[in-house]
Chains A and B, each alone.
Chain A
Amino acid sequence: MFAKILIANRGEIAVRILRACRTLGVEAVVAYSEADRDSLAVQLADEAICIGPADAKRSYLSAPAVISAAIVTGCDAIHPGYGFLSEDEGFAEVVRAHQLTFIGPPPQVLERFASKEATRRLLGAQGLATIPGSNGMLRDDLHALEEAERIGYPVLIKPSAGGGGKGMRMVRTPRELESAVKICRSEARAAFGDDSLYLEKWLEDNRHVEVQVAVDRFGHGVHLGERDCSVQRRHQKFLEEAPTPALGEAARAELAERAIKAVVAAGYENVGTLEFLVDGSGNAYFIEINCRIQVEHPVTEMLTGIDLVVAQIRIAAGEPLGFSQADVTLRGHAIEFRINAEDVEHDFRPSTGLVERYLAPGGPGVRVDSHLFTGYEVPPFYDSLLGKLIVWGPDRPAAIARALAALDELVIDGVVTNVKIHQALLRNETFLAGQMTTNLVDRVGAGAFLAAGAR
């Protein structure tokens, strides 16, 4: 096991990783930007070190700053969290060159799975059905038009790098395609420094279902069931649950088993998530793999009782998984609500400001992963995630009932949040029937959800 871990992230995930380190009895150092000087992670940390100014490019995204901080504080490993440097194989490589361990897949594994388009082919060869898409990256407009014609409209333009819905556009006509490719290229370049794009067949009314896996260095892999992340707005997930209401028990088990078999065969290592689109008939198509801990990992932790961040650290340290598939039992139903500093009534505009009062809900089956506290100033420089409310119940209706009570209990004064959209969803018939599709909120409009929820 590591002696000391540098946490190179912020917000709720920095706190989450710190807690995992404490569980393991490993010392931790929180690396922070000037804007996060007063953050909860820094306050809770045994040791913290300022790595740069508010601008993430010079702090959380700066490989030299992060690695230098690890070295001067005597750390032997770096946990990148999610976002920032978490899936940057170049960073993982430099970390290793400095005799430090990157907590995640080893650099050569990250590299193998770095291109989404190549990964689709790699796992397709291991027996996973993949979504029809372009052969390779889009070279130019003409190539894009030809490929879209071959696949058939509508198509989804996707960047090869990154995630979080940036640089993604669905188009229905050749004319739309040309202008959208330009926009996606510039968005992808700005967000990930890489403007390679590819095309995927757009499935109308699809569901987003993902399988959590954990594979150790010795090739022992288990799946930890799936999560449904179909509740999205502009390709951004904001509510996740497990099990997925989209598939029956046998279909879920089969999907998870195929997923773990394929990634083990492809040489994956550490925790990861395979994302699938599920069509109306229950066919699942692999789209991409996330080689990191995900925002929604607590949903799986609630069902399995397995600490995924601890597992991630152990695997990176070279330890065997320590449990087998037979030890993984999926109990009950869990739902995660991303609490964002967003004004749902004004086009989800990000909000900032001073948290004048914060009260977290509690009770059986209620978990809150957040970096908020009364008096915290939400800085304007980073994403809008304020925390996550996760509820567990023996079944979906029980989890929903607990969620309604917990959302009512939650108090965040001073900063506008998206709690209203969650409350509206929990009263929405389509959601209650377990029939949300990824395009629904955008198609109907968030406003309509809110108005219906207010009745």
Chain B
Amino acid sequence: MPDRKESARLADHAQIEGLADDLLPALIAKLGASGLAELEVREGDWKVRLRRPTDGGSSTTRSATGRAAARAAQAHADHAHGDHGQVDHGGSEQAGSETATNPYRTAATSPAVGVYHPKAEVTSGSRVRAGDRIGSVDVLGIPQEVVAPVNGIVGAAMVESGDAVEYGQELVWIELIATTAERSGRDA
């Protein structure tokens, strides 16, 4: 976009900011809760598309929450059942193996084995910066900080407050914002 005016550029930026602040958090919460693969919303001459990657099943990816239980399920299940035992502690369905293949989200992980407590004011849709404390894991009564690994928006939680978590377990998605908004029509 070599010839675009400075004012147009600024206006675009303002619009993107607006989308990121208002629309995206709501959409992320929606997508996280729905289990849908993709969500697209148009607003003005912008559209926002949120997509979960279809899991390629790369063997190098770490599965998400409930690894131990999943592994136990795998150990006992017959092998035709596949590589991704999607079982977790709580019983809700968990999509494993997403982190490594999805460039638009990354998970905040547990710093220790213990009991997870998200920070009350950090909910789905909150904007966070890398290093922000978003919760804690209680190890024998001593809280260990859970921090946001990147700048972004808090997305779907993978574990509930009060759940037992293991070291390295994925706790909550952090959706990266800048890369998820694209312009429709112009510049497409």
B-binding residues in A (CB < 8 A): 34, 42-53, 59, 64-65, 67-69, 71-73, 98
Cβ A50 vs Cβ B75 within 8 A: no
Q: How far is the CB of B107 from chain A (nearest CB, A)?
A: 15
Cβ A50 vs Cβ B167 within 8 A: yes
Within 8 A of A (CB), among B41-90: 67-69, 71-72, 75
Cβ A47 vs Cβ B69 within 8 A: yes
Q: For B68, what are the chain A residues with a Cβ–Cβ distance below 8 Å? A: 47-50
Among B19-27, B108-116, B125-133, the one that faces the other chain is B108-116
Instruction: Please report the C-alpha to C-alpha distance between residue A282 and residue B75 in the assembled complex, in whole angstroms.
Output: 52
Q: Given A42-B71, A48-B72: A68 and B168 within 8 A (CB)?
A: no
Among B72, B164, B167, which residue has its beta carbon within 8 angstroms of that of A45?
Answer: B72
Q: Given A44-B75, A47-B68, A51-B113: A67 and B166 within 8 A (CB)?
A: no
- Chain A's closest residue to B168 (CB) is A50
Instruction: Please report the C-alpha to C-alpha distance between residue A410 and residue B177 in the assembled complex, in whole angstroms.
Output: 55
Cβ A34 vs Cβ B167 within 8 A: yes
Q: How far is the CB of B166 from chain A (nearest CB, A)?
A: 4
Residue B139 lies at the interface, judged by CB distance under 8 Å to chain A: yes
Residue B142 lies at the interface, judged by CB distance under 8 Å to chain A: yes
Q: Given A43-B71, A46-B72, A51-B113: A69 and B142 within 8 A (CB)?
A: no
Q: For B10, what are the chain A residues with a Cβ–Cβ distance below 8 Å? A: none
Q: How far is the CB of B87 from chain A (nearest CB, A)?
A: 12
- B113, B114, B139, B169: most-surrounded residue (chain A CB, <10 A): B113
Instruction: Please report the C-alpha to C-alpha distance between residue A249 and residue B84 in the assembled complex, in whole angstroms.
Output: 58
Cβ B113 vs Cβ A52 within 8 A: yes
A-binding residues in B (CB < 8 A): 67-69, 71-72, 75, 112-115, 139-140, 142, 164-169
A-B contacts, 8 listed (Cβ < 8 Å):
A48-B72, A49-B113, A50-B168, A68-B114, A68-B140, A69-B113, A69-B166, A72-B164
Cβ B167 vs Cβ A48 within 8 A: no
Cβ B75 vs Cβ A65 within 8 A: no
Among B113, B140, B142, which residue has its beta carbon within 8 angstroms of that of A50?
Answer: B113
Cβ A65 vs Cβ B115 within 8 A: no
Instruction: Please report the C-alpha to C-alpha distance between residue A69 and residue B113 in the assembled complex, in whole angstroms.
Output: 6
Among B72, B139, B165, which residue has its beta carbon within 8 angstroms of that of A47?
Answer: B72
Among A44, A65, A71, which residue has its beta carbon within 8 angstroms of that of B167?
Answer: A65
Among B69, B75, B140, which residue has its beta carbon within 8 angstroms of that of A98?
Answer: B140
- Chain A's closest residue to B69 (CB) is A47
- Chain B's closest residue to A43 (CB) is B75
Q: How far is the CB of B58 from chain A (nearest CB, A)?
A: 15
Q: For B71, what are the chain A residues with a Cβ–Cβ distance below 8 Å? A: 42-43, 45, 48
Q: For B142, what are the chain A residues with a Cβ–Cβ distance below 8 Å? A: 64
Cβ B164 vs Cβ A67 within 8 A: no
Among A44, A49, A67, which residue has its beta carbon within 8 angstroms of that of B140?
Answer: A67
Instruction: Please report the C-alpha to C-alpha distance between residue A113 and residue B42 in the assembled complex, in whole angstroms.
Output: 74
Instruction: Please report the C-alpha to C-alpha distance between residue A34 and residue B114 in the assembled complex, in whole angstroms.
Output: 16
Q: How far is the CB of B186 from chain A (nearest CB, A)?
A: 47
Q: How far is the CB of B100 from chain A (nearest CB, A)?
A: 15
Q: Given A65-B139, A68-B140, A72-B115: A34 and B168 within 8 A (CB)?
A: yes
Q: How far is the CB of B170 from chain A (nearest CB, A)?
A: 12
Q: 5 closest pairs, A vs B, by CB? A: A72-B164, A50-B166, A50-B167, A68-B139, A69-B113
Q: For B164, what are the chain A residues with a Cβ–Cβ distance below 8 Å? A: 72-73
Q: For A42, what are the chain B residues with a Cβ–Cβ distance below 8 Å? A: 71
Q: For A34, what are the chain B residues with a Cβ–Cβ distance below 8 Å? A: 167-168
- Chain B's closest residue to A33 (CB) is B167
Q: How far is the CB of B28 from chain A (nearest CB, A)?
A: 28
- Chain A's closest residue to B75 (CB) is A43
- Chain A's closest residue to B112 (CB) is A65
Q: Could you list 15 further interchain pairs (A-B, Cβ under 8 angstroms) beyond the known A49-B113, A68-B113, A68-B140?
A: A34-B167, A42-B71, A45-B72, A48-B68, A49-B68, A50-B167, A53-B167, A64-B112, A64-B142, A65-B139, A67-B140, A69-B113, A72-B114, A72-B115, A73-B164
Instruction: Please report the C-alpha to C-alpha distance between residue A242 and residue B181 in the assembled complex, in whole angstroms.
Output: 73
